[in-house]
Amino acid sequence: MLIVERSGPVAVVTLNRPEAMNALSKALRSALHAAMIELDADPDVSVVVLTGAGEKAFTAGLDLKELGSDPKAMSAANDQGAASNPVKAIELCRKPVIGAINGVAITGGFELALACDVLIASENARFADTHARVGIMPGWGLSQKLSRLIGIYRAKELSLTGNFLDAATAADWGLVNRVVPAADLMPTALKLAADMASIPVETLSFYKGLIDEGFGRSFRKGLEIEHERSSAHNRKVTPQAVEARRIQVQARGRDQ
């Protein structure tokens, strides 16, 4: 139900329950947690691409059949442990995670998409927050993240109707980085991952952490965090290291 493929410094993680719209069953959530721990610790992996099997769904969120048949399963919507909360599982990865959104991302699947660092959407992608229609309130961060990303009025429109948001509008609203034809989704995501992976993984992880740490704070506090962390980091950088990186940047600029 979860496929992990490595190609050099890039790992592709595929939610593989297409017959169930890649719904996040308890077993799949546990497998995702184990995979993200392994990839985070793997020194040969710099970037992770997360996608879903098939063209219909990235993931439809929590497995509603499982929730409807097991009273204890309902707590998963509010679980904060990474072994059960897939958003936490993604967030514990210190390396960049690119979401390749191949189809619908619904409710908990929408929350999982928002846990990624960059979103590339297929033209088939659609997003919907159906928490209110299902009668379950979000517990993985959607009610707070969405308004901060697209504005409170748009977030309320989506969450209080449960309507779908198409890929083109998601791009216009700044929810995804770009929209590409379905056939180009993985090549585009893998090219972006390769661009990131050309930077040392320690630098990627540090910069990702710096951005994330400040995002949820006030602008003033974010600037303080940047100053504190970058000052400590930059004191360790030697002139020789800067010169070597400068030569690499120039060479890359000529090739692009």
Q: Give the model's confidence band at 66: pLDDT under 50 very low, under 70 low, under 90 confident, else very high.
A: confident
Task: Give 151's contacts (C-beta < 8 A, 6+ positions apart).
Answer: 173
CA atoms of 205 and 157, how far apart (whole Å): 35
Instruction: Output the pLDDT for position 69.
Output: 61
Percent of the chain with pLDDT over 70: 94
Instruction: Output the pLDDT for position 74.
Output: 56
Burial of 101 (0-12, 13-18, 19+ CB in 10 A): buried
CATH of domain 2-197: 3.90.226.10
CA gyration radius for the chain? Answer: 19
Predicted confidence (pLDDT) at residue 116 exceeds the cutoff of 60? yes
Strand ranges inside the chain, DSSP E: 2-7, 10-15, 47-52, 57-59, 97-101, 104-106, 118-122, 126-128, 164-166, 178-180
CA angle 126, 127, 132 (to 5 degrees): 140
* Average pLDDT of the residues in 174-192: 98
* Average pLDDT of the residues in 39-67: 93
Q: Give the model's confidence band at 244: pLDDT under 50 very low, under 70 low, under 90 confident, else very high.
A: confident
Are the CB atoms for 173 and 127 separated by under 8 Å?
A: no
Model pLDDT for residues 126-142, shown as the tens digit of each residue: 999 999 998 889 999 99
Q: What is the pTM of this model?
A: 0.92
Domain ranges of the chain: 2-197, 201-255
